[in-house]
Structure 1
Amino acid sequence: MNILITGTAGFIGFHVANAFIQAGNTVTGIDNLNDYYSVALKHGRLQAAGIDTASLLYNTAIQSSTHPGYTFYVLALEDYQALQQLFSEKQFDIVIHLAAQAGVRYSVTHPHAYIHSNMLGFLNILECCKQFNIKHLVYASSSSVYGMNTEETFSTGDPVDHPISLYAATKRSNELMAHVYSNMYRLPVTGLRFFTVYGPWGRPDMALSLFTKAILEDKPIDVYNNGNMLRDFTYIDDIVEGIVRVAQHPPTGDADLFAKAPDPSFSSAPFKIYNIGNNQPVKLMDFIEIIEQTVGKKAIKNFMPLQPGDVYKTYADVTPIIEELGYKPDTPVEYGVREFVQWFREFYKM
C-alpha cells in the first residue's frame, strides 16, 4: 500500500510508520516539528528511522537512508496548498492521521494552538481525502472525549457530549467532522480513541517520562488528585497493532443495523469508532510503585489536587475491536515500564 502518515516525528506516528515500512509498504510521513516539547526528541525519532535531520527543509522530501520505502516532509497541516500538492503527487491509498496538538493541560493556556492544528488541520486532511478518493482514513481520537462520563467502563456506544478540556472538545469535533465527510462523500473513516499510551520514545510531558526522570534525579514528583486516579495504560506496541489491523478493514456502513440500533460509534455511512486500551486500569500509586521497582529507587512524592481538564479514571471497553477484528491489547504494565525505562536511560544517558 501507498500510505500517508501524519505526525511521524511524534511518539505514536514514529512507531506506526516503522510498522508499515517493515511490512513492505510505501510510506510518506509528515510533521510540523513544533516545539510543544523537545524537538531534539523528535529529531531522534526521525534519525532512528533513517532521516537526516540536518537536511530538513520545509515541504522538501527527505529519503530515509535505512528504509527505501520511507520519505519524510516537514509540513504543517494548516498549509492546505502544500497538502493538496502532496496528495496529488503521491496518490495515496490510505491516510493515517496521527498529528495533533497534544496535551490536556496545555490546552488550558494555549487554546488557539488546538483550533489551528486539531480543527483546521483535520479539515484539510478530510478535504484532501475527499478530493483524492482515499480508500480509508484512520485518525486518532482520544479517551479524553469521555469527559464527565461516570460509567464503570467507557464504551464507544456511550454519549460523549460533556468534554472537560478544549483538547477533548477538538477530538470529539474531529469525530463529528469525520462522520459528515463519510456520510456526504462515502469516505471510509475510522476513529481510534487511545487510552494513555506509553512506551519507548514516549513524550517527555507524559507521567511515565516525568516520573522516571524525577526519580532518577532524586527530585520530587507531582502526584495529582493525591494519587487517587486510575489509568488504562496502553503499551505502544498494542496501539500500533490495533492501527495496522484497523487500516486493513475500512468500514462499509450498515443502514439496516444502524436503523435498528442507533449507536454513535457506527453509522449507515462507512464510519466507525473503536477504543484501543489495555482494558485493565492501574491505580496511579501502583503505577508509581512499578516505576520505583524498575528504576531501583523510591520516589519523593508531592501530592497535588486534581488539575483542570483531568479525569479521575479511564477504562476502555474494547469488546467491539475484539469481536470485529479479533484483537485485544494485553501487554502487562510491568513489561511496558521496563522497556520504557531501558530506552529512557539509554537515550538520555541516565
Structure 2
Amino acid sequence: MNQPRRALVTGCAGFIGYHLAERLLQQGWQVVGIDNLNDYYSVELKHDRLALLQQHDGFEFIKADISDPQLYSDTLAQQAFSTVFHLAAQAGVRYSLENPHAYVQSNLVGFVNILEWLRQHPPQHFIYASSSSVYGNNKQAPFTTDQKVDSPVSLYGATKKSNEVMAHSYSHLFNIPATGLRFFTVYGPLGRPDMAPIKFASRIMRGDKIDVYNHGNLARDFTYVDDIVEGMVRLIDKAPNTENGAPHRVFNIGRGQPVQLLDFIKCLEQALGREADKQYLPMQEGDVERTWADTKSLEQVTGFTPQVSLEQGIARFAEWFKRYQEKRTIA
C-alpha cells in the first residue's frame, strides 16, 4: 500500500495557507503545518482556520516562528517532505511603513532559515510565496515575469523581491528545485481582515464609511482563493530543471483581469444587499495604481486558467462573511 505524500505548509493558519492545507488534506496528503499565530490581525480567525484543519487525521500542527533557529535544529531536524510550501510571512504593504523590523525578521531571516534547512533536507519541490508588490509602480501592463522588478515602492515588496533572489542562489548552489509565485490580490472566505473585501464588507454592514483611496482610480487583479490553490496544486509535480543555470523559476498567479476598485465595490454592494458610504481619499504611501498579471507561462506549464469570475467569487465571499459575522466580529 502506498504511503500518503507529506507536505510542509508554513503559515498554515493564514488565509492562503489554510486553503492550501485543506485542499491537500482532502486529497489524502499528510500535512504538517507551522504558524506562530501572531496578532497582526484577528487571532480568533486564525484559530478558526486551524480548528477546521485539525478535523483531519492527516494534519499535524506545530506552533513556531520561522525565524527561530531551534525550529529547524530540533522540531524539523528529522522530518522529510516531498513538497514544502512556504507561505509564512509578515504580510501587508502599509504595516511595513510602521514596523519594518517585523518584515526583516520574518521575511528575510525566516526565509534564509528555511533555505538553510532545505539545503540539508531537499524536497522534490519547494514552492514559496512572492507577491505582485515586487512590480511596484511598473507602467508596462500586464505585468510579466521578465520585466525588471528593481524598484518596489514598499518594504514588503522589497522583501519579496529579496526572497526570489535568495531562492535562486540556493537553487543554483545546492540544486533545490524551487518555484516562486507572485500572488495577485487574493480574496475569498476566511480571508484577511486587513484587506479590502472584509474591511469594506464590515463597514458596509455597519453603515460606516469606507475609505476609497486615489479617489477610486485604482485597479486590482482580484483572484479567488480556490483558483490560487488549484494553480499551486497543479505545480506540485512540475518542479523546474536547470535549463537556466538553476532549478528555479517565478510565475505570476492571478486572474489576469484587472478590476476597477469602484466596480469591485459595486459588486460587493450587490452581494451584500447594501450600498456603501464612500469617503474618497488621496493615494496612500506604498500603494500602486494598478496590478495586472500575465499568467501565460503558468498556464503553459500547468494547463490551468482561473475559473471563478469576480461576481461568482464575491457572491461566495459575501455568503461566508454574513454567516461568520453572526458569531465573530473580525474587522
Q: TM-score, normalised by structure 2?
A: 0.96
Structure 1 residues 51-130: aligned runs within 5 Å: 66-130=55-119
Structure 1 residues 250-269: aligned runs within 5 Å: 250-254=239-243, 267-269=244-246
Which residues of structure 2 form unaligned runs of 5+?
A: none
The CA deviation string for residues 138-197 of structure 1, in whole angstroms up to 9 with x for no partner, is 000000000121012000111100000000000000000000000000110100000000
What is the CA–CA distance in structure 1 between the aligned matches of 2:264 and 2:320, rounded to whole Å?
Answer: 18
Superposition RMSD in Å: 1.0
What is the CA–CA distance in structure 1 between the aligned matches of 2:300 and 2:119, rounded to whole Å?
Answer: 29
The CA deviation string for residues 219-275 of structure 1, in whole angstroms up to 9 with x for no partner, is 000000000001000000011011111122110121xxxxxxxxxxxx321001000
2:317 to 329, 332, 340: 340
- Please tell me whether residue 301 in structure 1 is matched to residue 278 in structure 2: yes
What SS does the aligned partner of 2:18 have? Answer: helix
Query: Residue 230 of structure 1 aligns with which residue?
Result: 219
2:22 to 14, 18, 22: 18
What SS does the aligned partner of 1:138 have? Answer: strand
Tell me how far 1:87 sits from its aligned partner: 2.6
Q: Detail structure 1 runs of 4+ shifted over 6 Å in the superposition.
A: none
Which residues of structure 1 form unaligned runs of 5+?
A: 51-65, 255-266
Tell me how far 1:90 sits from its aligned partner: 2.1
Query: Residue 30 of structure 1 aligns with which residue?
Result: 34
- Between 288-297 and 321-330, report the one with greater CA deviation: 321-330
The CA deviation string for residues 296-345 of structure 1, in whole angstroms up to 9 with x for no partner, is 11100000111011000000000101112111123101111111111111
What is the CA–CA distance in structure 1 between the aligned matches of 2:232 and 2:10, rounded to whole Å?
Answer: 13
What SS does the aligned partner of 2:84 have? Answer: strand
Query: Residue 174 of structure 2 aligns with which residue?
Result: 185
What is the CA–CA distance in structure 2 between the aligned matches of 1:130 and 1:31, rounded to whole Å?
Answer: 21
1:5 to 6, 9, 13: 9
The CA deviation string for residues 63-105 of structure 1, in whole angstroms up to 9 with x for no partner, is xxx2111100110001112223233232122110000000000
What is the CA–CA distance in structure 2 between the aligned matches of 1:299 and 1:308, rounded to whole Å?
Answer: 24
The CA deviation string for residues 3-28 of structure 1, in whole angstroms up to 9 with x for no partner, is 10000100000000011111111100
The answer to whether the Cα contact below 8 Å between 1:141 and 1:174 also exists between their aligned partners in 2 is yes
The CA deviation string for residues 86-143 of structure 1, in whole angstroms up to 9 with x for no partner, is 3323212211000000000000000000000000000011011111122211000000
Structure 1 residues 186-335: aligned runs within 5 Å: 186-254=175-243, 267-335=244-312
The answer to whether the Cα contact below 8 Å between 2:32 and 2:61 also exists between their aligned partners in 1 is yes
Query: Residue 58 of structure 1 aligns with which residue?
Result: none
- Residue 22 of structure 1 aligns with an amino acid whose one-letter code is Q
What SS does the aligned partner of 2:25 have? Answer: helix
- Residue 49 of structure 2 aligns with an amino acid whose one-letter code is R
- Residue 7 of structure 1 aligns with an amino acid whose one-letter code is G
